[in-house]
Structure 1
Amino acid sequence: MAAYADPSRGHHGTGHLRDVLARLDELAAAGTPFERVPVQLAAWFHDAVYDGERDAEERSATWAEEALAPHVDEASLAEVVRLVRLTEHHRPQDGDANGCALTDADLSILAAPQERYDQYVAAVRKEYAHLPDEVFAAGRADVLRALAAKPQLFHTAHGIAAWEAAARNNIARELEGLPAADTD
């Protein structure tokens, strides 16, 4: 909790953790099959390290591995670590029920109502306040374009039905508002 409560965090703080856990509950209530314990543990650890560096997911996975080893069996531990690593790119295989549930819950913020989505974008910008606006905008546009290029943002039936259209609209709207990337 102390890591998530770090004041330097914007979006990836305690509110995000709470939202991901709530979306996992929503997925379970909608009948989405997944193993609750490893997925919830992975949710707790997926952004345990978040400092804007590229290897944050790997460091979060290492932390999970070290912290959970005395408390869970080897198979569960391996699954938690795998799931944490999966949140780097949010591209689970179709048959990966645990990965689909976790990544859908993690990305569900993309489908938030406009005002909440705009707060999310501002919170992400806070986390990258050390970057000049043009560098942040270019990086953010790259992330959004990579998400938009996915055939589906969400992988569970509930995620597709409840969040896909709104998320695509939010991404398109945000991309329209970013400065045009220099293509030279």
Structure 2
Amino acid sequence: MHPRIRLELAKRWSEPHREHHDADHLAEVIGGLDALVAEGLGFDAELARTAAWFHDAVYDVHRADSVERSAELARRWLGPGYGTRVAEIVLATEDHVSPPGDIEAAALCDADLSILGQDERRYDRYAAAIRAENDHLPMSEYRRLRAMVMTRYQNRPRIFVTEPGHRLWEAKARANIARELTTLGRPVPV
């Protein structure tokens, strides 16, 4: 990726309204991709890293189209061909479901969700940052919406679709989500 593009993206990742979706999150996602490489997952890691830089490049909690706008930014800045491929991978992060056979999208989705599988203290900081990004919502509405999102993840047969992602993060993610759902007033049956 051209240094000028990386600099422009870094500015976006440093916007003051970002509590979780910031440069630290980007570093953790890239670290998650590196962990998948270290665990032997075969994918185009450089392509996935580029998509990581774009995946939350546009982030506005007041709009529902941030992922689409981030994908469009990749298309515009990277051009046809490569930019279109990066945009396809970025679009998978909207619901964290990769198209069948798209290993780069699967890797990015797993790396993006790897925060769910961290130790309790890190997870709690993440959950607090998500709340801070959504502080415009009344607490009751936030709890309802957050519980809905986290229940969707908890109800998936697998949160992490790659084998290394599943091994690395699945068990802790399920425990963290169950714990958060309990604090949101939605206990998860054991």
- TM-score w.r.t. length of structure 2: 0.89
Does residue 147 in structure 1 map to residue 157 in structure 2?
no
- For residue 64 of structure 2, what is the aligned residue in structure 1? 54
- For residue 174 of structure 2, what is the aligned residue in structure 1? 168
SS in 1 for 2:11: coil
- For residue 34 of structure 2, what is the aligned residue in structure 1? 25
- For residue 15 of structure 2, what is the aligned residue in structure 1? 6
- Please tell me the residue identity of whatever aligns with 2:152: A
- C-alpha displacement of 1:22: 0.9
When the two structures are aligned, how many residues end up with a matched partner? Answer: 177
Does residue 113 in structure 1 map to residue 110 in structure 2?
no
- C-alpha displacement of 1:82: 0.5
- C-alpha displacement of 1:180: 4.7
- TM-score w.r.t. length of structure 1: 0.92
- C-alpha displacement of 1:37: 2.5
- For residue 89 of structure 1, what is the aligned residue in structure 2? 95
Q: 1:177 aligns with which of 177, 180, 183?
A: 183
Aligned partners of 1:77, 1:3: CA distance in 2, in Å?
Answer: 18
- For residue 7 of structure 2, what is the aligned residue in structure 1? none
- C-alpha displacement of 1:64: 1.0
- Please tell me the residue identity of whatever aligns with 2:23: T
Q: Which runs of 4+ in 1 moved over 6 A?
A: none
Answer 1 or 2: higher relative contact order, Cα 8 Å, separation at least 6: 1
- For residue 64 of structure 1, what is the aligned residue in structure 2? 74
Equivalent pair of 1:112/1:166 in contact (CA under 8 Å): yes
What RMSD over aligned residues (CA atoms) do the two structures have, in Å?
A: 1.3
- Please tell me the residue identity of whatever aligns with 1:37: E
Identity of aligned pairs, percent?
Answer: 43
* Unmatched runs of 5 consecutive residues or more in structure 2: 1-9
Equivalent pair of 1:20/1:43 in contact (CA under 8 Å): yes
